[in-house]
Structure 1
């Protein structure tokens, strides 16, 4: 097995080994299915030609351009993932020196994985990080957040093996312990803190434009938003807008939904914030991005078309 890290700010992952496909009414449309953010890891399933078949560490398969990947051996990937790292908290310039006039080496999106670089003396307000190619760069402290997810499933995923089983195998735990492990490691063992963190993270994307297949702060789709919010809080759910066996999301009755749970509609997903309010990335012409809407018919932001089509409420905390 060969591995790679995404070596561009937001790498397009196509569902087909070409960037476009025939759409409705004779239109040519994009074959994009996902995006891999800078520094995140993937398996290399087939390495032939300019389009490489990959599977992300959270289980999404597709095709990425060869020149958007940095290839690693298993040993190199193990060392890469073991190194202390942080997450880009917003669109962030990586600069040649800890000065605002430093030369921009790269601009990354929220969710990028950045390794910490050795630093004999830390200038106030700045952190030294490593680019994927090993070069050092500087970034504002305020542009960083703790990295709160595990990519170990990149080593154990294989066809026919449920994703939770692959991640649990890599971490040496039982699949049913994965959510509890995330809560204990990053949320003080408190389900309430986890729910609050999910809602807070989702709000950071408010106003971002809708982008089919997107996961970046500059544009993301409905499942890109919700799966990214969960990932950034330590739980890896299925990337698309459905509850799929093998990932931790479980269906619960509508009357039991609580803040941080996922709302599922036909081909769409949102994150519930409480008191009828939810946040989602919608391609509706009236919004075209990440907005609030409500399940309360008395609210001015009520959408009857979604309320009436709510098919499931999902939670990862059913057994916690």
Structure 2
């Protein structure tokens, strides 16, 4: 069996219990459930802050901690199974469950239900929080959080309630968001992160990287059949069709999430990175 270090947790000294009999390791462990406690946390392939990031985890997302050493935690994300390292100070054991998720591209947490107060932090779409109450100030409704703080009520929905059924509508909310390699948030996002987060916010579970998405999402179609919502894959890149002539994608050319004429994008990308490898319909 071909194992992928991005989705299978194994090292010579340690591996996840699910891989017993498939890999050799000194010991096998079940992970300890934990949750992200910072707004956005990079997940890295090695325990080194100078190492590039593979992806990001958002506030309130759950994971399994497989190992802790020298200030780092080796973890596996619950949502998409991604494996990597992050500072152990960014996670805590689960003591309660989130009730709501952020449904706008980004928003603020205030120390009290007062938008004029200095904000405590900002959270991205997809972040999860536990709401314990509500309040109103000058006609603005807030939801109160279990750990302290307040958020604009219209920026949250109960978990399981989606802001839209159309992933293209969700993706379009990120237009002009900065491009960030490995990014998966409203503060910076890459091509496959945009696809994953947009589909996640319509209730669909999607793997993280372009090769994983090309192998698992939808069915093949022809270029001439492209319409809104279809995905176009290159080697190492993916975009979503906003309509039959417009590509919506996070890209290193504009360094943003941008709309681009599809035919022009194919030609621009093609001279350096070749032409699309697949067209897929969800």
Bucket of the pairwise TM-score, normalised by the shorter protein: 0.7 to 0.9
Structure 2: 5+ residue stretches without partners? 1-30
Structure 1: 5+ residue stretches without partners? 21-29, 149-184, 188-192
Runs (4 or more) in structure 1 with deviation over 6 Å come to none
The answer to whether 1:90 aligns with 2:108 is: no
* Aligned-partner SS, 2:69: coil
The one-character-per-residue Cα deviations of 1:263-317 (angstroms, maximum 9, x if unpaired) are 1101001111122211111112xx1111111223xxxx5441446611112333x
* Match in the other structure for 1:141: 153
The one-character-per-residue Cα deviations of 1:219-268 (angstroms, maximum 9, x if unpaired) are 111111111111111111110012459x8513312244432222110100
Contact 1:293 1:303 survives alignment (8 Å): no
Classify 1:63/1:126 alpha carbon distance in 2 versus 1 (closer, same or farther; 3 Å).
same
In 1, the alpha carbon distance for the partners of 2:114 and 2:127 equals 21
CA RMSD of aligned residues (A): 2.5
TM-score (norm 1): 0.69
TM-score (norm 2): 0.78
Q: 1:293 aligns with which of 238, 260, 264?
A: 260
In 1, the alpha carbon distance for the partners of 2:144 and 2:190 equals 29
In 1, the alpha carbon distance for the partners of 2:186 and 2:162 equals 22
In 2, the alpha carbon distance for the partners of 1:241 and 1:90 equals 22
Q: 2:210 aligns with which of 241, 245, 260?
A: 241
* Match in the other structure for 2:172: 203
Query: What is the aligned length?
Result: 246
* Match in the other structure for 1:67: 89
The one-character-per-residue Cα deviations of 1:57-83 (angstroms, maximum 9, x if unpaired) are 2221111111111223xxx4xx415xx
* Match in the other structure for 2:97: 80
In 2, the alpha carbon distance for the partners of 1:90 and 1:227 equals 14
In 2, the alpha carbon distance for the partners of 1:304 and 1:268 equals 14
* Aligned-partner SS, 1:47: strand
